[in-house]
Amino acid sequence: MRRPAPHELLGLTSPAYGGDYNPEQWDEATFAEDLELMAEAGVNLVSLGIFSWARLEPREGSYELDWLVEIVGRLHDAGIAVDLATATASPPAWMATDHPESLPMSADGVRLGFGSRQQYCPSSTVYRERSAALAEVLAERLGDHPGVVMWHIGNEYGCHTAECFCPACARAFRAWLTDRYGDVERLNAAWGTDFWSQRYTSLEQVCPPAAMPTFHNPAQLLDWRRFSDHQLRSLMEAEARILRAHSSLPVTTNFMGDFPATDYWRWAESLDIISDDSYPDPADAAAAHEVAWAGDLMRGLADGRPWILMEQAPGAVQWRRRNSPKRPGQFLLWSLARVAHGADGVLQFQWRQSRQGAETFHSGMVPHAGRAGRTWDEVVATGRALKRLGPVLGEPVRAEAAVVLDWDSQWALSSTIGPVEPGERFEAARAWHRSLWEAGIATDIVPVRADLAGYRLIVVPEVFIDYPELARNLEGAAAAGAQVVVAGPTGVVDTDAGAVLGGYLGSLRPLLGVRVTDHAALSGPVGQDDSRGALVNRVSRAVGTPAAETWMGLEAVGEPLRRVLDQMGTPAPDLRAGGWAEEVRIDEAPGGVEAGQGQEPVEVVAVFDGRGGGADLAGRPAITRRPVRGPGAAWYVAADLDAVGRAALLRLVCAHARIRPVVADLPDGVEAQRRGEILFLLNHGDRAAEVAGIVGTDLISGEACTGHVVLAPRSALVVRSRKLG
């Protein structure tokens, strides 16, 4: 079923603009001033009540909503719509005092106390009952108020308490395992409990993976992550059911990009509008990619439809060790970049910078200095710009490339012990997406069960679990002409974290024509420099240690990849990979892509050349390609290519796929994205940039673009295209 776009659900005529609003923290005079300032800034939507539980229910079962109803009414009279929170993100003090069992417990068995936020156990009966009751009271009182246009459930689920190890969670975990496995013997088989004498005779013996003497059972950890995600998600779903029983308004909860603890593909199924909180670091040169990555992911979670940015900082945050502010122009630039990647709304945390509390020095749309200073000027300029982007609403981003992303695989990878210690934030998927973004290729982010029809390029990076369904979909895409690029480690374990036997890649082996026979990770330097010891250590000075390197060299085989490298610079850059590599064997008879439809032999595109840490892999395949009937092909990358290697390979693959950048030959620093017939040119660089061939009307300034435009540093153009002549 088609997911309606946010502007259709919220009645928007221009992108939503505003932020979290906490009027209970301010006096009446400030509230009156806020209404004036919101009009000046062009605010049309605020999120209200996110941390108001203590005000709404000051004593258990005793509700005080009149103040909230009055504020909603006054905002409505001022033309400002409300995204109304259920206020269940942070329980009040009485819950911690009267029901201490509702507090979360750490893996070390310590009950976390009151005085911060999100101090609840997701399995707590009391928390579940009181949060449901509050949601129902709000829905009954304000569900049909004309000033409320959307429900905001909770806030940043799992941000601080993604797991709880209390007795209630232990009981809930056992119940979840009973639903999943039925009996203890099936659990023993799935978890491989004959290893280390972990066999259970009753499900009542199973505990959460709390503090233990050494390594946890990987399958237990994987199921624990699934369970913890389920518990949080069930809280959100319970409130959504209550709201929908009393109101026809759309519901959302704010995601946090690729937050590792929550499988947002599953969460998105229960929401009407996808929304996100995103805080790139202005001190990071790659922050613009973080904006693009988060936007493309949210668009994927919304089934290709637009989404809403629920939170970003107008300036600096307060929670990093050092908190750099956005540079001049960057607030507007990144806001427009969000819209370019599919957002139909740009909201901030928060409207007015707090005077007290843990987020006192987190920037707000109205800073401590008020109207004085750059922040307010940029807030007003951004509101003015967004007001003119009504034609963008609902317009799609059309991408011919896709990157596959899977939370379950990330959990499996981080649950297994070895062969390397993985990161938590989809590093491989981020790296391949960034390479496509740097090349100007519009890219979708899709789940393993996505319909891949229509994509010319599909990248499958580090999907650790072997999914037969994904393999079938990729085979169909390749047979239809797509270029499929698989990068390891992929297809290494099954859904229970058990190793795939007979060679890694599992179900993907017939498509790729290769199998991985072993991992070959580099460890980096081991021990201390012993150069003086080499004078006397007769045995060890003769021992080679290629695994102590941090990189390994590759050599292109054949003219196509060498030609790409020659085009990239003089002298041509060499191919390198980081600390991950694999031993690959080409299968002589791997089967067929849709058997009988003309598979070709596997081609070796690059080999390990023995440089760096690759001495023991010298001459072995590092990149392979298996042509499929017609233009389709399946590529395998058996090493963690660096940025140059990924860029070179993707140039070659995109040529096969007949994919071109959104705008070709852009100057350094400039990103191009298109929504429908509207082109966004975003100059993230520090220098002015000239772009030729741009014809249309700049929606923000209203000026005509007649073929040649100049972008100031950290600025953007939003051009509605028209044809020459």
Decide if pLDDT at 349 tops 60.
yes
Q: Dump pLDDT digits (tens) for 270-295.
A: 999 999 999 999 999 999 999 999 99
Q: What percent of the chain has pLDDT over 70?
A: 97
Quick one: pLDDT band at residue 589, thresholds 50, 70, 90? low
Peptide bond between residue 419 and the one before it cis (omega within 30 degrees of 0) = yes
Give the CB-side neighbour count of residue 656, counting CA atoms within 13 A.
Answer: 26
pLDDT confidence bin for 596, thresholds 50/70/90:
very low
Among candidate residues 388, 418, 453, the one where a domain is terminated: 388
Same domain, 636 and 685: no
Average pLDDT, the chain: 95
Give residue 538's pLDDT band: very low, low, confident or very high (50, 70, 90).
confident
Indicate the number of domains in the chain.
Answer: 3
Q: For 134-148, 534-548, 573-587, 646-660, which range has the lowest pLDDT when averaged over its residues?
A: 534-548
From the candidates 57, 156, 239, 671, give the one annotated as an active-site residue.
156
CATH number at residue 712: 2.60.40.1180
**643 in the same domain as 674:** no
Q: Is 319 annotated as a binding residue?
A: yes
Helix (H, G, I), strand (E, B) or coil at 504: strand
Residue 633's nearest CA partner among 511, 515, 516 is 511
Task: Tell me what the mean pLDDT of segment 64-78 comes to.
Answer: 98
311 is catalytic: yes
Distances (CA, A) of 228 to 173, 208, 224: 8, 10, 6
- Looking at the predicted structure, is the pLDDT value of residue 230 above 50? yes
What is the helix (H) or strand (E) element at residue 8, kind and residue range?
Answer: helix 6-10
Average pLDDT value for residue range 153-167:
98
378 plus 513 within the same structural domain: no
Q: Is 267 annotated as a binding residue?
A: no
Residue 622 lies in a domain: yes
Which residue's structure tokens are 């750099």? Answer: 324
- Is 44 annotated as contributing to ligand binding? no
Inform me whether the pLDDT recorded for 725 exceeds 70.
Answer: no
Mean per-residue pLDDT for 88-111?
A: 98
Is 676 within the bounds of a domain?
yes
Lowest-pLDDT choice from 259-268, 326-335, 361-370, 520-529 = 520-529
Q: How many CA atoms lie within 13 A of 34 on its CB side?
A: 28
With vertex at residue 152, the alpha carbon angle to CA 296 and CA 230, rounded to the nearest 5 degrees, is: 75
Question: Are 488 and 595 within one domain?
Answer: yes
Task: Report the CATH number at residue 420.
Answer: 3.40.50.880
Are 501 and 628 within one domain?
A: yes
In a domain, 341, yes or no: yes
| The amino acid at 497 | A
443/483 same-domain check: yes
Contacts of 695-700 with C-beta under 8 Å, sequence gap 24+, read 695/721, 695/722, 695/723, 695/724, 696/720, 696/721, 696/722, 697/722, 699/388, 699/389, 699/391, 699/392, 700/385, 700/388, 700/389
- The answer to whether 477 touches 632, Cβ cutoff 8 Å, is yes
Tell me if 645 is assigned to some domain: yes
Q: Are residues 456 and 593 in the same domain?
A: yes
State the alpha helices, DSSP H only, in 255-314. Answer: 264-268, 287-301
Report if residue 269 sits inside a domain: no
Query: What is the per-residue pLDDT for 597?
Result: 47
- Per-residue pLDDT reduced to its tens digit, 307-320: 999 999 999 999 99
- Type of residue found at 101: E
Q: Are residues 438 and 509 in the same domain?
A: yes
Q: How far apart are CA 463 and CA 483, in angstroms?
A: 17
Please compute the mean of the pLDDT values over residues 3-32 and round it to a whole number: 95
Mapped onto helix, strand or coil, the DSSP state of residue 145 is coil
pLDDT digits (tens, 9 = 90+) for 391-414: 999 999 999 999 999 999 999 999
Residue 202 lies in a domain: no
Query: Which segments of 120-217 does DSSP mark as H helices, in order?
Result: 125-142, 167-181, 184-191
Assigned domain for 357 exists: yes
Compute the average pLDDT of residues 676-692: 98
Q: Is 217 annotated as a binding residue?
A: no
Q: Which residues of 503-520 are buried (b: 16+ CB within 10 A; e: fewer)?
A: bbbbbbbbbbbbbbeebb
Structural domain ending residue among the three candidates 329, 357, 388: 388
SS3 at position 351: coil
CB distance 440 to 637 below 8 Å: no
User: 121 a known binding residue?
Assistant: yes
In the structure encoding, which two tokens stand for residue 30, read together? 């400030």
Q: Which of 349, 365, 388 is the last residue of a domain?
A: 388
Residue 166 annotated as binding site: yes
492 and 591 in a single domain? The answer is yes
In terms of domains, do 351 and 323 share one? yes
Which domain does 710 fall in, by range? 670-721
User: CA-to-CA distance for 130 and 167, rounded, in angstroms?
Assistant: 20
Asked if residue 599 has pLDDT above 70, the reply is: no
> How much is the pLDDT for 566?
94
b/e 577-588 (16+ beta carbons within 10 angstroms → b) = bbbbbbbbebbe
The pLDDT-based confidence of 66 (bands split at 50, 70, 90) is very high
Do 518 and 646 sit in the same domain of this protein?
A: yes
Show the beta-strand stretches assigned E in 508-665: 514-519, 552-556, 575-586, 603-612, 621-627, 633-637, 639-641
Task: State the pLDDT at residue 594.
Answer: 45
The pLDDT-based confidence of 600 (bands split at 50, 70, 90) is: confident
Q: Which of 87-101, 332-346, 415-429 has the lowest mean pLDDT?
A: 415-429
Select which of 57, 239, 311, 603 is catalytic.
311
156 inside domain: no
Give the contacts of 232 (CB within 8 A, at least 6 positions apart). Answer: 122, 157, 158, 162, 261, 262
The answer to the question of whether 705 is labelled as a binding residue is no
- Does the pLDDT at position 595 exceed 50? no
Secondary structure letter of residue 105 according to DSSP: B
156 annotated active-site: yes
Using the structure block, give the residue that is written with the tokens 């007769």: 538
Do 649 and 708 lie in a common domain?
Answer: no
**DSSP single-letter state for residue 723:** -
Q: Give the other-Cβ count within 10 Å of 563's Cβ.
A: 14
DSSP assignment of 436-477, as one string? HHHTT--EEEE-TT---TT-SEEEEE---B--HHHHHHHHHH
Residue 2 clears pLDDT 80, i.e. is over it:
no
How far from each other are the two terminal CA atoms of the chain, in whole angstroms? 40
Contacts of 453 (CB under 8 A, 6+ apart): 476, 477, 480
